[in-house]
Structure 1
């Protein structure tokens, strides 16, 4: 016992033991202090873990140094030398790492509008070197607080970057009813979990209506996310919440639709699943084929007649690409294709389900507000388009609620009749990307090798009326309507849009200088028709001298449908504050049908009435624009010769008459502009678009379903503007917003170019 005590006493007296003990105490104190001040100095949890690891890794090095130097130095000298070396190494290494590697990476990500990557990189810096780079302000610029509302309390909320499931772990955010969490701007995945409930996966852009942090209003809100009781969701299906949404289908406009909740297959139906239907005698069970009017090439067939045509490559009943009634080896997890609409419906009945109506398919494929907070810029590049063949299901194109492959791979049959024939949606592996949001009419007996499907289970069968009804297909305009007018006809036509100047009787209603960037004015001018007066909002940069260049702004469709009060309208909503920062003014007229001049007429009663209203609207917009430019040129603080046009969405799709008959615009910038397929002939401007010679910059989204790429290219190619005075740029984005930094760079470069002319 004495020997043990003696050994312990000697150990305590040794420099090695004292150095180790002092190091342990010092490490403990530092970790505790860091924990206490973590909130104050924004030290994240990962940094705390890294700090502990630094001290653990340093321990063996300290022990070796202390042992080697114990005969020459005191304990405190040993500890001091070691801590100095450790701190110097950490400091210099961190400084070099942050400034040489991380900050350039963050800068490049931000310039490319990849805020998720920038966010991950800044958090990595904060985790390892919070004292050598201040990223708090930067993080606030590239992120937004998301309000994640759930119907149940006690729901664990996790997130990760979209489509990085192989390399990124879920990060815990918090537990409801806590709901406010800062997330990077971009597309994110959420995982909601609670014991006794099914896990709920959600994909959304941030900001968005889903996160209750989007500046624009759609006139409606989304309900809190509701988890489903464990075991309530049918096998291989996912839950789609109900509520309002705008279908992301080309040609459907921006009309709000309300659906009840429903279930839909997570994946396209596979060969293996369809084989179960075949083996169960599905082709011979009349209950799956009842009430089907089977039509092939205009001829109605009996079921027995049709079944003789529903055969594989060897003449056995089954999908067209099978052999001897069996799918090819190794194809069990690939989507079943080569089937008619009738076979797809029979299988759905076999499962107790139905084929999805078009609107239900669209609800499951994209978020409710895809037009303004899209996931398509990431979803579509990850989907199976423009490739050689089908892929296994469940690998690509993760949708907003956990579905896969709704875009690409196999095009999918839906319930509705479309223009007298069947309808498929989503596009296929052999199609271009823009088909992902286009309606594809085809005969219901079509057995193409790219025809697949998935099924739906409606929780409210009443949704089939009206959403199961036939869908009217707009007839394409005949080619004769697209022939340019000759000079004589155009001369006669253009007289309808001749406008003369009048006394505007302009009145300043108010001037607001509360914004740090701009002075806002509201001015009223007479229009000279129907005794109407138009308000004009003016946003002027502060602390500027001399005459200002002016940008006349035409907004999106929401300002013609559910606009805010005119006094609440702000260019900040559209991110146009950069124009003010560039030293220019924004002039925003409340043209006919927008803001406080909304149309209150009853719905049109006929196609002729629709055409009449469009003709009247175009004339009103022509007059309103003429008065706006007259007013600008009447002010001494504006340069009368440097007036520009910027249109966004609606204001970029319908500029043809404004740009054609108004020669005072130096140049124009069209955000997500193109050809409209819904405007009546003549009013759409396509007959005279070749006469427009204004310098035009078009900025569009590659994944825009409202203005698909082919429509933007069609408008651009038809412009009469000289090739050197027009430019079309496509971004990896949806309809709106466009990548901000890249949009700003292109816009200002264009304005600068024509400001100097």
Structure 2
């Protein structure tokens, strides 16, 4: 083929090699339309001076057509970019209205973000999906090759979606017979009219169909990948990704990929109110300054909202607005359903909110054993009691009115007269008032700051003055909802500087109560044991943020500068109210002072886990299969009491044997759920099988189908708990016994993976079962409760010598960093170089991507990469 320059009518098509097929379709369509095209795959042959030829063709062509796509976007270098620059260089010698550049996009690449020379942006682009070339585009190009100037004053080339309509012009014809000429004229007019209408229809179709195609391609190629990335790396959604999914669904209503993603993007919101007709608004919890979104008018059901922790407002004229923080469950998808009673304006005490009858799990470290507990409906202060409010109590003679001081005052176990106590309840200048005041008043500008520096007795006296009560720890736990710590704490005052004005920070609890975390510690009614101490919860501005999750007591006479309070109003005084005010014993352990047992004692403890190596009696009960894994459901003799132990052995779909086995120990959900669902591992643990390893999930004694009288994962001093620990360790060992018999398992490369409760038990099992080569503990730690020494975790941690990876959250309400996570890490007997602890800015969860990345890296390091 000759490489001489093209005629001045030819089109030069420039493209990346990945787009050759699309470019060929365009070239063929143009050639079929009689247009000369230079297309390098057909014009060049081996041995030709390629670069010289291309330069000559660009220099002589009539139109230069760059093909723009995702392929050109990702390539920083490429010969096509040299062609583009040569074409831009040629335009410098052209008239401004000369038609030369004709950019064509073959996919959803957005024009504003395309990586092209700026000169390309001065002209309007055409879109030819996949290189499919309509006749209208061919006609348009033919017109441009025959013209010498641009058809538009503002652009060199119009888009194919905006073709011009050629106006009718009168032609000079030879004279005809009148009737024939008239008939011919009518036919010509009709023909031209029909042609014009067809062109107009093509224009309208182009304006409608091409943008619609572009939007579909953008949804498929841009929005869906972004949504998939978030779904894979986050354990919750947000408004931004929710909006992208809604937009994608508009253009891809039946897309199966999007349908599978929706459960990880959204949940549903259903709200009823008394009375009906309230407007409900929502926004992401972590974007308090964002605009509100309207969910609907009550009652409504199943309105789709982001699968996230949300702020809600419920508004109705004449009624008190309700603020809520809607719960979000990250381990499973649960709809948000609320039935709310709205109160007429002025019917409730000022700044109090209604808390419905609720059950608290008591997720406060040290007093978890008292949950779950039902709490009747009550009212609570939306904000902590302020300096201004407490000043009203002082000015009304609150310190001298004995009617408010009904609780006997004690100090060091001895009774103290009211007068003697009141003599201590003074400010910095000796006048009666909180310890942080001076001259009988608070600092200027602190009217709406919480009152602090008050004892429990002063708080109780103010509550009596206000005809209210101090909350019990159960009332406080219902409202605080510590499971939301990772959301609440970053938006609360733990500044170590000073108090902040009430409600000035956006830390909002589930029921619309502010400042429960930080700002002021809050006195509660309950006494600690038979001591003079009372529970003071939530942490204050002087405390670290993890104090929010800890139970804490102080002498009732303590007047520390961060001690404050808020009040409640019980709506019905009954026996349950009295029970909620009982004295409580707090479980607390200082692991910096406690010492594990010596080696001789531990050796005697170890003997309780010895079992007879009886036949396994293994039976494969059934096999399961999913798109990502297959599983053998196996039963074996548990090794005690003639019980059978069921094992789920998850294997990769395609693998090279033998496989490294990872044996899992679950969280406490295993105790509370009566049936194991194998799909539980999907999106949580299936990365193990995807990495080419086997995941083994034993159904331990007391979990799932093997539930018994065990109701809590907390260790305790009972023989029942001791017996369960012994059974769990034996079951783990029997699991390994079975796996050693399988030819598809590497019997010398066992890993322990524990999650939550399993992270705690992982502080025991590897100390006994030395066939475990490596340990991963996800959100584990030490508990404040004690167990019998034979199964107390502290005695086992120093005997764990395998490599250990600990993954934890800063705001973990079960295993706080300082009192639980760090002591566990310190007590591990693993050499320092082989143990690693990572703490993330999260709660009782680790970001999924980090969990996967760090776990696989740890397994690769100590077991070796998979085959």
Counterpart position of 1:670: 777
Asked if structure 1 preserves the Cα contact closer than 8 Å seen for 2:232 and 2:848, the reply is no
Deviation at 1:424, TM superposition (A): 0.4
Counterpart position of 2:739: 632
1:750 pairs with 833, 841, 858, which one? 858
Asked if structure 2 preserves the Cα contact closer than 8 Å seen for 1:388 and 1:429, the reply is yes
- 1:26-425 to 2 correspondences below 5 Å: 111=233, 115-116=237-238, 118-119=240-241, 122=244, 136=258, 140=262, 142-150=264-272, 152=274, 153-166=276-289, 168-207=290-329, 212-213=334-335, 224-253=339-368, 255-289=371-405, 291-366=406-481, 374-396=483-505, 397-419=507-529, 420=531, 421-425=533-537
**Per-residue CA distance 1:414-459 (angstroms, 9 max, x = gap):** 1111131122000111111111121221111111111110000112
Deviation at 1:743, TM superposition (A): 1.8
Unaligned runs of 5+ in 2: 1-152, 155-164, 169-195
User: Relative contact order (C-alpha < 8 Å, sep 6+): which is higher?
Assistant: 1
Q: 1:381 to 1:140 in 2, by over 3 A?
A: same
Q: 1:631 to 1:138 in 2, by over 3 A?
A: closer
Distance in 1 (CA, whole Å) between partners of 2:585 and 2:236 is 40
**Per-residue CA distance 1:387-408 (angstroms, 9 max, x = gap):** 2111111022211111111111
Deviation at 1:81, TM superposition (A): 11
SS at match of 1:647: strand
Deviates more, 1:87-96 or 1:451-460: 87-96
1:526 pairs with 613, 617, 637, which one? 637
Q: TM-score, normalised by structure 1?
A: 0.79
Deviation at 1:267, TM superposition (A): 0.8
Asked if structure 2 preserves the Cα contact closer than 8 Å seen for 1:223 and 1:243, the reply is no
Asked if structure 1 preserves the Cα contact closer than 8 Å seen for 2:381 and 2:566, the reply is yes
**Per-residue CA distance 1:583-607 (angstroms, 9 max, x = gap):** 333212122222233333899xxx9
1:451 pairs with 548, 563, 576, which one? 563
Counterpart position of 2:112: none
Asked if structure 2 preserves the Cα contact closer than 8 Å seen for 1:692 and 1:719, the reply is yes
Asked if 1:469 is matched to 2:582, the reply is yes
Deviates more, 1:543-552 or 1:662-671: 543-552
Q: 1:304 to 1:573 in 2, by over 3 A?
A: farther
Distance in 2 (CA, whole Å) between partners of 1:534 and 1:470 is 42
SS at match of 2:805: strand
Asked if 1:565 is matched to 2:657, the reply is no
Deviates more, 1:386-395 or 1:175-184: 175-184
Flag the structure with larger Rg: 2
Q: 1:212 to 1:245 in 2, by over 3 A?
A: farther
Deviation at 1:469, TM superposition (A): 0.9
Asked if structure 1 preserves the Cα contact closer than 8 Å seen for 2:242 and 2:305, the reply is no
Counterpart position of 1:721: 830
Unaligned runs of 5+ in 1: 1-63, 66-71, 215-221
Asked if structure 1 preserves the Cα contact closer than 8 Å seen for 2:804 and 2:834, the reply is yes
Deviation at 1:559, TM superposition (A): 1.6
Asked if structure 2 preserves the Cα contact closer than 8 Å seen for 1:197 and 1:230, the reply is yes
**Per-residue CA distance 1:606-628 (angstroms, 9 max, x = gap):** x9x93433332232122111111
Counterpart position of 2:751: 644
Deviation at 1:748, TM superposition (A): 2.2
Counterpart position of 1:23: none
Q: 1:468 to 1:143 in 2, by over 3 A?
A: same
Deviation at 1:576, TM superposition (A): 1.8
Deviates more, 1:706-715 or 1:192-201: 192-201
Q: 1:526 to 1:292 in 2, by over 3 A?
A: same
Asked if structure 2 preserves the Cα contact closer than 8 Å seen for 1:109 and 1:117, the reply is no
Deviation at 1:114, TM superposition (A): 6.7
- 1:426-575 to 2 correspondences below 5 Å: 426-462=538-574, 463-474=576-587, 476=589, 482-483=595-596, 485-486=598-599, 488-513=600-625, 515-560=626-671, 562-566=672-676, 568=677, 570-572=679-681, 575=684
**Per-residue CA distance 1:351-405 (angstroms, 9 max, x = gap):** 1110000010111111xxx5xxx42112101111142111111022211111111
Distance in 2 (CA, whole Å) between partners of 1:485 and 1:714 is 18
Distance in 2 (CA, whole Å) between partners of 1:481 and 1:651 is 23
Distance in 2 (CA, whole Å) between partners of 1:79 and 1:434 is 67
Asked if structure 1 preserves the Cα contact closer than 8 Å seen for 2:623 and 2:630, the reply is yes
Distance in 2 (CA, whole Å) between partners of 1:210 and 1:325 is 54
Distance in 1 (CA, whole Å) between partners of 2:757 and 2:570 is 35
Q: TM-score, normalised by structure 2?
A: 0.69
Deviation at 1:231, TM superposition (A): 3.8
Distance in 2 (CA, whole Å) between partners of 1:478 and 1:134 is 52
Counterpart position of 2:129: none
Deviation at 1:118, TM superposition (A): 4.4
Q: 1:112 to 1:724 in 2, by over 3 A?
A: farther
Deviation at 1:346, TM superposition (A): 1.2
Distance in 2 (CA, whole Å) between partners of 1:229 and 1:138 is 44
Q: 1:101 to 1:535 in 2, by over 3 A?
A: closer
Pairs aligned (count): 664
2:813 pairs with 699, 702, 705, which one? 705
Distance in 2 (CA, whole Å) between partners of 1:650 and 1:388 is 37
SS at match of 1:615: helix
Deviation at 1:556, TM superposition (A): 1.4
Distance in 2 (CA, whole Å) between partners of 1:516 and 1:91 is 31
Deviation at 1:89, TM superposition (A): 11
Asked if structure 2 preserves the Cα contact closer than 8 Å seen for 1:272 and 1:332, the reply is yes
Counterpart position of 2:190: none
Distance in 2 (CA, whole Å) between partners of 1:94 and 1:516 is 27
Deviation at 1:119, TM superposition (A): 1.4
Deviation at 1:162, TM superposition (A): 0.7
**Per-residue CA distance 1:59-93 (angstroms, 9 max, x = gap):** xxxxx99xxxxxx9969999999999999999999
Asked if structure 2 preserves the Cα contact closer than 8 Å seen for 1:518 and 1:540, the reply is yes
Distance in 2 (CA, whole Å) between partners of 1:681 and 1:547 is 40
| Superposition RMSD in Å | 3.8
Asked if structure 2 preserves the Cα contact closer than 8 Å seen for 1:499 and 1:626, the reply is no
SS at match of 2:623: strand
**Per-residue CA distance 1:124-167 (angstroms, 9 max, x = gap):** 97699999x9995696264122243435554433210114232x
Asked if structure 2 preserves the Cα contact closer than 8 Å seen for 1:109 and 1:118, the reply is no
Asked if structure 1 preserves the Cα contact closer than 8 Å seen for 2:589 and 2:785, the reply is no
Asked if structure 1 preserves the Cα contact closer than 8 Å seen for 2:523 and 2:565, the reply is yes
Distance in 1 (CA, whole Å) between partners of 2:332 and 2:351 is 25
Deviates more, 1:746-755 or 1:436-445: 746-755
SS at match of 1:548: coil
SS at match of 1:634: coil
Asked if 1:587 is matched to 2:693, the reply is no
Asked if 1:733 is matched to 2:842, the reply is yes
